[in-house]
């Protein structure tokens, strides 16, 4: 059975202070760049957390998002 894709609810991330980026946004590629350059990461949304509060908000949001 194929995974069901759920688009990100960006409104749910409105409490995040850091940038919330989607593919094509300025800064997206730099934010998803990793130490392992052999793998290309392409999440639907990436957040540049600016502090502990951002991380807490993202974990709360991530807990509610269904995984494919």
pLDDT digits (tens, 9 = 90+) for 12-46: 788 889 999 999 999 999 888 877 778 888 888 88
Are the C-beta atoms of 28 and 21 separated by less than 8 Å?
yes
Model-level pTM? 0.71
d(CA 63, CA 51): 19
DSSP E strands: which ranges in the chain? 20-21, 46-47
d(CA 14, CA 55): 13
């Amino acid at each position: 059975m194929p995974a069901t894709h759920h688009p990100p609810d960006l409104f749910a991330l409105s409490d995040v202070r850091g940038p919330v980026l989607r593919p094509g946004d300025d800064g997206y590629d730099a934010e998803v760049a990793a130490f392992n350059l052999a793998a290309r990461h392409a999440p639907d949304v990436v957040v540049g957390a600016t502090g502990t509060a951002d991380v807490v908000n993202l974990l709360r949001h991530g807990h509610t998002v269904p995984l494919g």
